[in-house]
């Protein structure tokens, strides 16, 4: 374990200035992504913070505590916005306008600024001003209905798909697209990043395959939801889990040969009516050995295999260690900046930098 130290800012976004208004979830994660790649991020937070302090997601910023409801606080924010390239906020629609910090007010001071708005429902629509969380946004997009077991209700997949997949990543993508366009027009604009939009975009793969029947989103017939015997997790003799996913015929053959499965198992995976029975047979087979035994046999092959690891175990896996995916800093696991760049790599910066911005 290492201790946080000052790290030079570096990365392809060096020189980009981001003004972030503290929030929870996807907004801070987007700011972290930008900071990891070299952006200077100034986070405006209220007295006492947001109630969710997070040493990993909150890394790489300078923080300034302001009461933005006051004239002095508002003017300070507008002055900071004058020197910024990007603004990120995650309030309900209309809040920033009431505070005097909406796009019209800010663009009056800095017309080149890219104004990033992160919400669940979006800036418009009947639900725009209603409360919600990741599970609700997934539910309304059609994604949640396809996730879970054959019996029982749908199962939320942490908040990876909504908050961070359809949220922060689409906000970051939108910000970079707006910055690219600004190079031609010289003008900033508003980026309305809604989780319901992002998740719906992520569902495009499935929407494109449904008409042809190449895939089903019914949980008991969905090839990618855990219903298929060759794309799911199994529990081993020691109670630990493994994941197998050989969708292609050559990889399925590799798995079946390695585990010495009977011919009936090899031939039935393309028939959804046989999936429940075949899954039971594979469950019994995989339960005959420990997770370590299966790792010894299958890791490094084309069987599309991996052990199911905890976060702490993942950081110690040889592949993850060789790539330096995680770094333990002051007892917290920090993921390396992603994606990676050949000439201008990003960096994990935990300590605040003493840079001025007025």
Catalytic residues: 133, 163
Which helix (H) or strand (E) covers residue 328, if one does? strand 326-329
Alpha-carbon distance of 28 to 57, in angstroms, equals 6
List Cβ neighbours of 19 (8 Å cut-off, separation of 6 or more).
Answer: 41, 42, 44, 77, 80, 81, 84, 86, 87, 88
What percent of the residues of the chain are helix, what percent strand, and what percent coil, each to the nearest 5? 40, 15, 50
Query: Degrees (nearest 5) of the Cα angle 330, 333, 339?
Result: 130
Q: What residues does 332 pair with on adjacent strands? A: 329
Q: How far is CA 60 from the centre of its chain?
A: 18
Cβ atoms of residues 173 and 164 within 8 Å: no
**Cβ burial, residue 153 (10 Å; 0-12/13-18/19+):** exposed
Alpha-carbon distance of 86 to 346, in angstroms, equals 19
Alpha-carbon distance of 263 to 127, in angstroms, equals 53
Cβ atoms of residues 221 and 149 within 8 Å: no
Query: β-strands 86-89, 61-65: how paired?
Result: unpaired
Through-space distance between the first and last CA atoms of the chain, rounded to whole angstroms:
37
Alpha-carbon distance of 59 to 34, in angstroms, equals 11
Alpha-carbon distance of 206 to 131, in angstroms, equals 28
Alpha-carbon distance of 269 to 244, in angstroms, equals 13
Give 2's DSSP letter.
Answer: B
Considering only CA atoms, which of 174, 177, 147 is closest in space to residue 162? 147
Alpha-carbon distance of 187 to 341, in angstroms, equals 28
């Amino acid at each position: 374990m290492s201790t946080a130290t000052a790290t030079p800012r570096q990365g392809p976004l060096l020189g980009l200035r981001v003004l972030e208004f503290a929030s929870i979830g996807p907004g801070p994660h987007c700011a972290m992504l930008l900071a990891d790649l070299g952006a200077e991020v100034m986070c405006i937070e209220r007295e006492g913070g947001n109630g969710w302090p997070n040493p990993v997601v909150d890394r790489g910023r300078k923080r300034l505590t302001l009461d933005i409801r006051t004239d002095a606080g508002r003017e300070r924010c507008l002055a900071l916005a004058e020197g910024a390239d990007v603004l990120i906020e995650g309030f309900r629609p209309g809040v920033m306008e009431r505070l005097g910090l909406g796009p019209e007010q800010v663009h009056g001071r800095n017309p080149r600024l890219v104004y990033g708005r992160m919400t669940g429902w979006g800036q418009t629509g009947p639900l725009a001003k209603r409360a919600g969380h990741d599970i609700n946004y997934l539910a309304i997009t059609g994604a949640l209905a396809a996730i879970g077991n054959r019996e029982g209700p749908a199962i939320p997949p942490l908040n990876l798909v909504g908050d961070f997949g359809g949220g922060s990543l689409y906000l970051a993508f939108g910000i970079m697209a707006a910055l690219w366009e600004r190079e031609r027009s010289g003008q900033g604009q508003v980026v309305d990043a809604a989780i319901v939009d992002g998740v719906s975009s992520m569902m495009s793969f499935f929407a494109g395959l449904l008409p042809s029947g190449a895939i089903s989103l019914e949980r008991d017939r969905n090839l990618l939801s855990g219903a298929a015997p060759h794309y799911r997790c199994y529990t081993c003799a020691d109670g630990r889990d493994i994941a197998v996913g050989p969708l292609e015929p050559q990889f399925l053959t590799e798995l079946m040969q390695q585990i010495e499965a009977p011919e009936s198992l090899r031939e039935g995976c393309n028939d959804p009516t046989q999936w429940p029975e075949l899954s039971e047979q594979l469950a019994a087979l995989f339960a005959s050995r420990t997770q370590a035994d299966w790792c010894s046999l299958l890791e490094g092959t084309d069987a599309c295999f991996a052990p199911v690891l905890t976060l702490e175990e993942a950081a110690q896996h040889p592949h993850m260690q060789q790539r330096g995916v995680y770094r333990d800093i002051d007892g917290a696991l920090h993921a390396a900046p992603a994606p990676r760049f050949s000439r201008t790599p990003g960096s994990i910066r935990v300590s605040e930098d003493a840079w001025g911005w007025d």
